[in-house]
Structure 1
Amino acid sequence: MASESSGKPRLEELERAECLRLIAPGGVGRVAYDDGEGPTVVPVNYAVDGESVIFRTSVSGRLNRSLRTAVMGGDVRAAFEVDHLDETTRQGWSVLLRGGAHRLSDEERDAAVRVDPWPGDEREAWFRLSAAEVSGRRLRGG
């Protein structure tokens, strides 16, 4: 009878510090939120600022409308996920941040790390998602 470790990749939990280290370079991640019609996930360019991620979106977009609150600086529950997968080796990692997101004031935006969105149109709504929870997993070769 073959053992479970017969060349199959292993899944391991990652510590908070390792999760933050993995996403530190920035790039593309996904914001998960409720848009009023149910769970929604959209890709965004992001940058890491401490234990938060900064991302931008269009003022007229659904993401801005869903995460904006009537209270300046008020948070909306959201999640943010980044992963890196190598399909050839079947290895990689995934990091999930859960917490509150809020639109940045002009002063917060001026002090925030820079995020350069890939799309060519305007992305003038800046958000910070502060991580209340950070979790991650890595899939390693067996």
Structure 2
Amino acid sequence: MTAPQDRPNLSALDRDTCLKLISPGGVGRVAYDDGEGPTVTPVNYVMDGETVVFRTSLAGRLNQNLAGLPTGAEVRIAFEVDRFHPDTHEGWSVLLRGGGRQLEDDETSADVEPWPAEARPARIRLTPKLITGRRLGRG
């Protein structure tokens, strides 16, 4: 086992650093209550300012939860993105919490092209109320 002084340190990241780290987009995980309890689903995403935009299928549970709400209503969701190097045990993790809602067809936003071949026409936007992050590193 490595001595504590040889292991990376854990430190908090400020909001601006968190947004900078996730700004290129990529893959994150959205967490929500799907009606049967908490669930986590990986999605590819883009940033639109300080909001996250991703797509899902019309039949997806998150979209179904949102479809039953009035236009513009939100559900509480969390969104997490991380990058870690398995050999050095260094990296970072960013967590956003806030309201997710369906984007209407006439709303413009940054667009994300879904990775799966199956249609993902439902666009979801997360407007974070809380952004936190941690870095594991040396120095």
Q: Quick one: distance in 1 between partners of 2:81 and 2:67?
A: 22
Q: Quick one: distance in 2 between partners of 1:68 and 1:129?
A: 15
Matched residue of 1:96: which SS?
strand
Say whether residues 1:141 and 2:138 are aligned partners: yes
- The letter for the 2-side match of 1:100 is G
Match of 1:39 in 2: 38
The Cα offsets for residues 58-111 of structure 1, whole Å up to 9 and x where unpaired, read as 001222112334210101000000000101110000000000000000111xx1
Matched residue of 1:59: which SS?
coil
Question: What CA RMSD, in Å, does the superposition of the two structures yield over aligned residues?
Answer: 1.5
TM-score (norm 2): 0.94
* 59-68 vs 123-132, which moves further: 59-68
The Cα offsets for residues 23-81 of structure 1, whole Å up to 9 and x where unpaired, read as 00001000000011110000001000111100000001222112334210101000000
Matched residue of 1:116: which SS?
coil
**Count of residue pairs the alignment pairs up:** 138
Change in 2 beyond 3 A, CA 1:100/1:69: farther
* Percentage of matched positions with identical amino acids: 55
Say whether residues 1:52 and 2:45 are aligned partners: no
TM-score (norm 1): 0.92
Alignment of 1:1-142 (within 5 A): 4=4, 6-108=5-107, 111-141=108-138
Q: Quick one: distance in 2 between partners of 1:21 and 1:35?
A: 30
Structure 1: 5+ residue stretches without partners: none
Q: Quick one: distance in 1 between partners of 2:125 and 2:86?
A: 31
* Conservation of the 8 A alpha-carbon contact between 1:67 and 1:103: yes
* Conservation of the 8 A alpha-carbon contact between 1:56 and 1:127: yes
Q: Quick one: distance in 1 between partners of 2:95 and 2:128?
A: 9
